[in-house]
């Protein structure tokens, strides 16, 4: 599948960039360049912001029912092209086929389709004393999105923004742009009014910064690294304009000391799976496993075995569980973390920094398990790859909570215990945006976001929609 595109989508039509440069799109399994996209310019971002600003007055006055109908039509259009979306995600970022179909292509459909229900859980108007509180769309939204869940992260912003009555300018990741183009094609086919949705590919320092600083952009919704998020917040603050930042994570999965037998085995498998999902390229991945010291040997022995069953290979092979990382730079970054951790005294249990012997090409990193102490870089810093850090603890629940809350991040987490009430009590004390208790599954309509350096604001569900609104008080 080639990914060559030569246009931007601005003001309801496909237009050339004002620049002449292009950006390569690489297949991370074959390491071959499979296409290009325009390297958008600051002028392109400005044209898109102007188109979104012109469209805002009419779109914001479109009835809520009609806005939801557009979201539903987009969901149906994405559903009809689910295989194309999955193929794009697999070939451009290396998502294993099962993940590409169910997650990369499936979740965006849910994001748009769920608006029909979500809008019913928002207080669009309510009385407060002698005031009528009215929720209004915040305005033009700049959406800057990452490569790891390239369409889901766009949909999680665009769907609620459209439902709220906002217009949008999207900058997709230049590494994995194909799915964004498929969305634009669907939106064009359903007849969304010109200027309501605009797509400008390009790099963060050029297009991303132009969007974040443009005077006609009222809000910036950003998902990506904490470093880049700080830069977005800095540029937006000069406006000032509203920002919503979904950043990094170093989430802990806590095994309580009452786990035994099958409960313990389930917790180990669930924690490893939560780390390795999408080849470890997940901001909310469970990358730390907190284990009572008395159970460390048993847990590590199981992990050494379980990690071997994470089949690496061609993302298009349905048997593949672990695909390559998105780029050579990402591969080298993750390998560097593994090497540094071992040099720093961490114990290598499984995996390691070497290229898998049966996969001479492809940006692969073996599923890796390390045992390290709290406070070390591998326990504190986001790696963004298939690397699980096992951290032994003594001192019961208090020690586990202290270690779990002991990083600058707070995006996700998990607690496993034989006593559900005890596990819930521990979960309530974690300073993080989501916690799975005894394997509770991800809810795509529950609010998603974090504490600390994991950012602020929430996506998904009613709270995610409310992020794109502002309240006016009508004094009666």
- The answer to whether residues 397 and 298 touch, using CB atoms and an 8 Å cutoff, is no
Sheet holding 469-475, edge to edge: 125-128, 131-137, 469-475
Q: Does domain 8-247 have CATH number 3.30.230.10?
A: no
Tell how strand 368-371 and strand 347-350 pair up.
Answer: antiparallel
* pLDDT score of 407 more than 70: yes
Give me the pLDDT at residue 240, please.
94
* pLDDT score of 1 more than 70: no
- The answer to whether residues 357 and 351 touch, using CB atoms and an 8 Å cutoff, is no
**pLDDT 10s digits, 284-305:** 999 999 999 999 999 999 999 9
List the structure tokens of 206.
């050029």
**pLDDT 10s digits, 116-126:** 999 999 999 99
Segments making up each domain of the chain, as ranges: 8-247, 252-444
**pLDDT 10s digits, 21-72:** 999 999 999 999 999 999 999 999 999 999 999 999 999 999 999 999 999 9
- Best CA proximity match to 255, nearest among 438, 36, 118: 438
Task: Tell me, yes or no, if 354 is annotated catalytic.
Answer: no
**pLDDT 10s digits, 303-322:** 999 998 899 999 999 999 99
Instruction: For residues 108-134, give the mean pLDDT.
Output: 97
Give me the pLDDT at residue 3, please.
72
Give one word for 418, left, alpha or beta, with left for phi > 0 and alpha for psi -120 to 50: alpha
- The answer to whether residues 413 and 254 touch, using CB atoms and an 8 Å cutoff, is yes
Give one word for 137, left, alpha or beta, with left for phi > 0 and alpha for psi -120 to 50: beta
List the structure tokens of 199.
């797509």
Q: At what angle do helices 82-93 and 64-80 cross, to 10 degrees?
A: 70
b/e per residue 367-389 (b: at least 16 CB within 10 A): bbbbbbebebebbbbbbbbbbbb
Instruction: For residues 246-271, give the mean pLDDT.
Output: 97
* pLDDT score of 233 more than 80: yes
What does pTM read for this prediction? 0.96
Give me the pLDDT at residue 2, please.
61
CATH topology of domain 252-444: Aldehyde Dehydrogenase; Chain A, domain 2 (3.40.309)
Give me the pLDDT at residue 4, please.
83
- The answer to whether residues 39 and 131 touch, using CB atoms and an 8 Å cutoff, is no
pLDDT band at 458, cuts 50/70/90? very high
* pLDDT score of 133 more than 80: yes
**pLDDT 10s digits, 165-191:** 999 999 999 999 999 999 999 999 999
- The answer to whether residues 456 and 112 touch, using CB atoms and an 8 Å cutoff, is no
Q: How far apart are CA 69 and CA 427, in angstroms?
A: 38
Question: Given the structure tokens 């096992």, which residue do they identify?
Answer: 390
In the chain, pLDDT over 90 holds for what percent of residues?
Answer: 98
| Catalytic choice (92, 246, 459, 466) | 246
Q: How far apart are CA 310 and CA 323, in angstroms?
A: 10
| Catalytic choice (166, 283, 379, 382) | 283
List the structure tokens of 178.
């194909």
From residue 203, give the alpha-carbon distance in Å to each of 21, 57, 174, 325, 397: 12, 29, 6, 19, 45
- Whether the ω angle into residue 240 lies within 30 degrees of 0, i.e. cis, is yes
Provide the 3-class DSSP secondary structure of residue 233.
helix
Question: Given the structure tokens 């940006």, which residue do they identify?
Answer: 363
Question: Given the structure tokens 């029909």, which residue do they identify?
Answer: 116
Task: Tell me, yes or no, if 283 is annotated catalytic.
Answer: yes
């Amino acid at each position: 599948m080639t990914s060559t595109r030569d246009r931007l989508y601005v003001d309801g039509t496909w237009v050339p960039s004002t620049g002449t440069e292009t950006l390569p799109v690489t297949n991370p399994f074959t390491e071959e360049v499979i296409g290009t996209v325009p390297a958008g310019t600051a002028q392109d971002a400005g044209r898109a912001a102007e188109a979104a600003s012109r469209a805002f007055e009419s779109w914001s006055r479109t009835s809520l029912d009609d806005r939801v109908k557009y979201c539903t039509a987009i969901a149906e259009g994405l559903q009809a092209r689910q295989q194309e979306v999955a193929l794009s995600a697999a070939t451009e970022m290396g998502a294993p086929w099962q993940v590409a179909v169910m997650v990369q292509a499936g979740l965006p459909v849910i994001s748009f389709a769920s608006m029909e229900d979500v809008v019913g859980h928002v207080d669009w108007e309510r009385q407060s004393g002698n005031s009528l509180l009215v929720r209004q769309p915040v305005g033009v939204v700049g959406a800057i999105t990452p490569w790891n869940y390239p369409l889901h992260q766009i949909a999680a912003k665009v769907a609620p923004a459209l439902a709220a009555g906002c217009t949008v300018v999207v900058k997709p990741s230049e590494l994995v742009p194909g799915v964004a183009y498929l969305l634009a094609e669907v939106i064009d086919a359903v007849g969304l009014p010109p200027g309501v949705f605009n797509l400008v590919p390009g790099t963060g320092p050029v297009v991303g910064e132009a969007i974040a600083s443009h005077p006609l952009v009222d809000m910036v919704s950003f998902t990506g690294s904490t470093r880049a998020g700080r830069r977005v917040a800095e540029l937006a603050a000069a406006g000032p304009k509203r920002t919503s930042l979904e950043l990094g994570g170093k989430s802990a999965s806590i095994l309580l000391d009452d786990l035994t037998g099958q409960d313990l085995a389930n917790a180990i498998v669930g924690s490893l799976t939560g780390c390795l999902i999408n080849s470890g390229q997940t901001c909310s991945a469970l990358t730390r496993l907190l284990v009572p010291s008395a159970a460390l040997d048993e847990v590590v022995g199981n992990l050494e075995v379980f990690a071997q069953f994470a089949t690496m290979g061609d993302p298009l092979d349905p048997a593949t569980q672990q695909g390559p990382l998105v780029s050579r730079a990402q591969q080298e970054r993750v390998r560097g973390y593994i090497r540094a951790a071992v040099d720093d005294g961490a114990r290598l249990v499984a995996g390691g920094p070497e290229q898998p012997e049966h996969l001479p090409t492809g940006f692969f990193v073996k599923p890796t398990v390390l045992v390290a102490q709290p406070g070390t870089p591998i326990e504190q810093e986001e790696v963004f790859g298939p690397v699980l850090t096992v951290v032994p603890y003594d001192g019961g629940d208090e020690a586990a909570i202290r270690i779990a809350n002991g990083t600058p991040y707070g995006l996700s987490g998990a607690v496993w215990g034989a006593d559900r009430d005890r596990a819930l009590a521990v979960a309530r004390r974690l300073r993080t945006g989501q916690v799975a208790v005894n394997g509770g599954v991800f809810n795509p309509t529950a609010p998603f976001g974090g504490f600390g350096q994991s950012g602020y604001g929430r996506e998904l569900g009613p709270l995610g929609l409310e992020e794109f609104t502002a309240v006016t008080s009508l004094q009666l």
